Structure 1
Amino acid sequence: MEINDDAASNLEQLLESLIKMVGNANKNVDNLQKRVSQLEWLIREQKLEIKERGPIQIYSRHLHESVNKFPINL
């Protein structure tokens, strides 16, 4: 009977450990899912902001000066 009691006790401990491990894994998955959702939201917001702003154009402050300093020779 002692062997059966020890085996049952070991199985019970193993089951408890597995339950804790699964619980921790689920917490990690939940945290990752929250992070993914946050990143997806940020990406959507940035896309909307870029769409509203229109294309980006870069202008030089000294256009004529820079053309004279760095002529393009073909």
Structure 2
Amino acid sequence: LPWTLSIDGSSNLKGSGAGVVLEGPDGVLMEQSLRFAFKASNNQAEYEALLAGMKLAKEMEVQELKAQSDSQL
């Protein structure tokens, strides 16, 4: 069964960041919040969240991953 990676990025005048949730088939949850030290658009923040989530999945030795996002890219 695949793991599920849910991501969401955001950006406003105060900065940008993202949230990452990695859920295993047995219900285990790994959560990460990111605040970027650089200006990023909403789309850039979503992309950075995807990269961070995939890195986390690799560290967890996930073999199959399904990513979901509200991004329209």
- TM-score normalised per structure 2: 0.30
Which structure's relative contact order is higher, taking Cα pairs within 8 Å and 6+ residues apart? 2
- Hey, which of these two has a bigger chunk of strand by percent? 2
Structure with more of its chain in helix, by fraction: 1
